[in-house]
Structure 1
Amino acid sequence: MKRVCAWSRSVVVGFFVVSLCLWMGTGQSWAFQTRISDTVYVGSGKVLHGPYLFCGDSVRLDGEVDGDVFVIAQKVVVNGAVRGDFIGVANSVDINAPVAGDARVGAGEVTLRSAVGGSFTAAASSLYIEKNGRVGRDLVFAVNRFGLDGEVGRHVSATGETVYLDGKIGGNVRLSETSSLRLGKKAVIEGDLVYSGPSKAVLQQGAQVKGKQHWTRTEGKQRYRYEKYLDVISGFLSLILTWIVLRWLLPGVWEGLGSEIADKPGKSLLMGGLAFFTIPLLAITLMFSVIGVPLALILVFFYLLLIYLSKIIVATASGMAIGRYTGWQENIHPFWLFLLGLSLVQLLTMIPQIGWAFAVTVVWLGTGAAISKLFKPKQV
């Protein structure tokens, strides 16, 4: 179960980040509108002119959005038409109204009960396309459980542990690393069925595959060979959500920490390097006394927290630097600059052979900036 949870969280971010970066390139992000609140609600009969970014614990759209929709929330319910693309990251997503363009979703549970005019990309624990659900073009997903009672206009390319098809698919179906594949009696695949997994598919009487069928047998361990990549991607989601939540609770916190690096990078690097070696030694020293054990544990906890936050701090500083150099900071929301900086930092730390050096530098810069900011004298 832990493996599945980490796996589903990982893929969520991949599609989210790629979609956002592609969208940024269109120039539409220069003028998007935002609604950030605990509960975001668009009433029935209202028409919003997008593109819109909705952030909150719960987002419910009963009204229509004439443009693209971006959502980051715990629970998302779409009951009003979206006349553009839909991109969402949430714990659960219910799409009950038409989406004119493409849909890109990363969530724990995703349910489609209406039509998506373009393609649908999903990364989730579970994905269900119910009887009235329809994907106009291609369906791409990486999930634990998938069920189809509706229709897919063209091809399906996916990875899923448990896959159940009982609807119509207008093109080919290509599935990888599938533990269980079943076709119900109403399943119709107009093209080929190509899949891999430890066992062959089960076709109920009445199921139709009009093209060729090809099965590649794989062992159980091979099903998870891609996990190391998904684990890297999973960090993106937690970092993005952490940035959003803390910026919401403490406005200006990331910009302040990022400025510490931008103003005095040498000082941040030096203080981070000293902390990297001295804090663990101090914690070990405290462990030798009974009274010092709780202090040591608290010290280690906060130090590990700083290491985790260091990538966000450096990503913010990088985004700010890019914004100043290009002049984008006047036109683009800080979130997009942070996302650009985070993508750059992530890529640098993944370079073979030398990525570890960038990773250490990021930790030193981030922790050094936080310590500098914490002990910086207050100006009266």
Structure 2
Amino acid sequence: MFRSRLRSNLWATRRSLLKFLGLVLAIFALGTTLVGAANVPQNATIEAKKIVNEDVYLRAKTVAIEGTVGGTAAIAAQRITINGTVEDDAYLAAETVTVNGTIGGDAVIIARQVRINGEVSGDAIAIAQTVVANGKVGGDLRLVGEVLLLDERAEIGEDVAGLGESLESRVGSRVGRNMMFGGARALLAGTVQRNAIASAGAVALHGIFDGNVQIGVGNRSFLTIPFLPEPAIAPPNVPDGLAVADSAQIGGNFTYRSPETAKLGKKAWIAGSTVREPLESESKVTGVPVNPARAFWRQLQRFATLALVGSLLVGLKPHWAQSLARTVRDRPVASLGWGAATILAVGGIAIAIAFVAFVLAVLFGYTLRGLVLPVLGVGMVANLALLVAFGIFVSFVPQIAMSYWGGRVLVQNFKPEWSARNWISLCVGLVLFVAIAAIPVLGQIFSATIICLGLGALFLSQRKGRQRGLQSDSLSERRDRLEVLPAIAAEGTSEPESVVRNS
């Protein structure tokens, strides 16, 4: 139940990606249309009693909304202050963003410093070096940054998801549903009305958690980004490891993974059970046996997932899956080599995209500052699309194609009358694949080999298809020339006859 809730919450982040893409497109439009202006306005202000009953697109060095915007607001500036009301969504990009007023829809913000003191009726997404939430967010709050803070008056209606160097929730802050965080350190002293999940190098629990608490603690590691200025607020001081203070109250179960036993305060109240799960490295060293039922269930889930996706793939594109399998059968060494090369190539392309986007952003930072955010956004979206597409392919297609081929060979040898049923061949092959992949060490090598074979077979099949296309084009051109030559010859012989008659 706990993990199913987590999956549903993480699946809900798809809206966050769409909102972020909307911000990138909005800022790109602002940058490309206004960056070429001779003089960027110093100030742009919507005065206190003014009502603008339409969408607003602004770019200036300083933007202040004191009045009311009746639609969507898309703003790019060095400093943005919203003291009034934006009745719809707000897309904001600046050095500093301060929301003291009200945003009636969702807020998507990219900045160095973000402070939400007012109210956001929908979801709030902030990507910044420091993010301070000290107001009300009606929906989800999703944060990415170096220092993340839920201050004393923060009230979040639904979930909080954070990724960064540190997260601190102070006494008085309230999260209406679940809290999730991944980073280096976390100090949680506020109230979480459902479950809390955190993975960090140092975690301290001081607050009230009405549901379950699941914590993973490992070695603390910091990512130092060169030339990054000091954050506007200092991160919390959290000792290494996991500590539960006397003031902590946990209404459900407390489950944690840590190299050391958690430090539990004598007055800390935990309604459910307290379970320390061993780390993976500890299981290998101490020889703690893996739960057979859990391992079997995990492999059963893997089989069901591959069978569902495989039935769609084999049902819609059976010849494509067979083509990949034949390529592996005919050219196994080449498929393996080209598969490994493809993995390296995709990694190199991802690094190249990030490097080019970074270099262009630095160059535009000194020349065309309005294009910095669009370039970074397009680079991030391109890398995200590349890695997601590659990950989906690697997770399903090679395993399904190889399992289908292997199952077909087995069925043809033992039950030839069943070979016409593709789903039987697929299921037989998947059972064999999942069984081998579950073997420690050998299964990992086997899975990696299957992935390389599938990628290489795809590359060789595509190259062979292009070569056939070129050959067909050359044959058609040759046929056209053969058809044209008799016509030219006929024209050449008819011309002298006409000349003789005329003479």
TM-score range, shorter chain: 0.5 to 0.7
SS of corresponding position for 2:122: coil
Q: Which amino acid aligns with 2:16?
A: L
Deviation at 1:183, TM superposition (A): 0.8
Q: Which of residues 48, 51, 59 is equivalent to 2:97? A: 59
Answer whether contact 1:39 1:58 (CA < 8 A) is retained: yes
Q: Which of residues 386, 399, 407 is equivalent to 1:345? A: 386
- Could you report, residue by residue, the CA deviation over 1:112-164 in whole angstroms, capped at 9, with x for unpaired residues? 02110101000111111001111110001102111122100000122111111
Answer whether contact 1:176 1:196 (CA < 8 A) is retained: yes
Change (3 A) 1:74 1:245: farther
Answer whether contact 1:15 1:105 (CA < 8 A) is retained: no
Structure 1 counterpart of 2:16: 20
Deviation at 1:97, TM superposition (A): 0.6
Change (3 A) 1:244 1:61: farther
Mapped partners of 1:52, 1:164: distance in 2: 34
Which one has a larger percent strand, Structure 1 or Structure 2? 1
Change (3 A) 1:78 1:136: same
Change (3 A) 1:83 1:254: closer
Count of residue pairs brought into register by the alignment: 254
Mapped partners of 1:107, 1:131: distance in 2: 21
Answer whether contact 1:349 1:355 (CA < 8 A) is retained: no
Structure 1 counterpart of 2:191: 151
Percent same amino acid at aligned positions?
A: 23
Deviation at 1:21, TM superposition (A): 2.5
Mapped partners of 1:40, 1:245: distance in 2: 23
Structure 1 counterpart of 2:204: 164
Bigger Rg, which one: 2
Find out whether 1:77 has 2:84 as its counterpart: no
Mapped partners of 1:139, 1:237: distance in 2: 33
Q: Which amino acid aligns with 1:109?
A: V
With normalisation by structure 2, the TM-score equals: 0.44
Structure 2 counterpart of 1:176: 216
Q: Which runs of 5+ in 1 are unaligned?
A: 1-13, 223-230, 256-308, 313-334, 359-380
SS of corresponding position for 1:182: strand
Mapped partners of 1:104, 1:214: distance in 2: 29
Find out whether 1:194 has 2:267 as its counterpart: no
Structure 2 counterpart of 1:124: 164
Mapped partners of 1:69, 1:87: distance in 2: 6
Mapped partners of 2:18, 2:129: distance in 1: 23
Matched ranges for 1:216-231 at <5 A: 216-218=277-279
SS of corresponding position for 1:347: helix
Change (3 A) 1:252 1:184: closer
Mapped partners of 1:39, 1:162: distance in 2: 34
Which one has a larger percent helix, Structure 1 or Structure 2? 2
Mapped partners of 1:254, 1:37: distance in 2: 11
Q: Pairwise CA RMSD of aligned residues?
A: 4.1
Answer whether contact 1:115 1:134 (CA < 8 A) is retained: yes
Mapped partners of 1:192, 1:156: distance in 2: 11
Change (3 A) 1:348 1:355: farther
Deviation at 1:252, TM superposition (A): 7.3
Change (3 A) 1:245 1:103: farther
Deviation at 1:68, TM superposition (A): 0.4
Q: Which of residues 129, 140, 146 is equivalent to 1:108? A: 146
- Could you report, residue by residue, the CA deviation over 1:292-351 in whole angstroms, capped at 9, with x for unpaired residues? xxxxxxxxxxxxxxxxx9xx7xxxxxxxxxxxxxxxxxxxxxx6x876544322334555
Q: Which amino acid aligns with 1:150?
A: G
Change (3 A) 1:246 1:57: farther
Change (3 A) 1:138 1:51: same
Mapped partners of 2:352, 2:123: distance in 1: 22
Mapped partners of 2:353, 2:92: distance in 1: 16
Deviates more, 1:53-62 or 1:178-187: 178-187
Mapped partners of 1:203, 1:238: distance in 2: 44
Mapped partners of 1:132, 1:237: distance in 2: 43
Answer whether contact 2:361 2:371 (CA < 8 A) is retained: no
SS of corresponding position for 2:177: coil
Answer whether contact 1:16 1:105 (CA < 8 A) is retained: no
Change (3 A) 1:103 1:244: farther
Answer whether contact 1:16 1:87 (CA < 8 A) is retained: no
Structure 1 counterpart of 2:440: none
Answer whether contact 1:198 1:220 (CA < 8 A) is retained: no
Mapped partners of 1:150, 1:47: distance in 2: 28
Mapped partners of 1:246, 1:17: distance in 2: 32
Mapped partners of 1:200, 1:25: distance in 2: 43
Mapped partners of 1:92, 1:137: distance in 2: 23
Deviates more, 1:77-86 or 1:240-249: 240-249
Matched ranges for 1:1-380 at <5 A: 18-23=14-19, 32-42=72-82, 44=83, 46-113=84-151, 114-178=154-218, 180-218=241-279, 242=358, 249=368, 341-350=382-391, 352=394, 353=452
- Could you report, residue by residue, the CA deviation over 1:182-203 in whole angstroms, capped at 9, with x for unpaired residues? 1111100000011111011111
Whose RCO is larger (CA < 8 A, sep 6+)?
A: 1
Mapped partners of 1:236, 1:189: distance in 2: 46
Change (3 A) 1:192 1:338: same
Answer whether contact 2:216 2:256 (CA < 8 A) is retained: yes
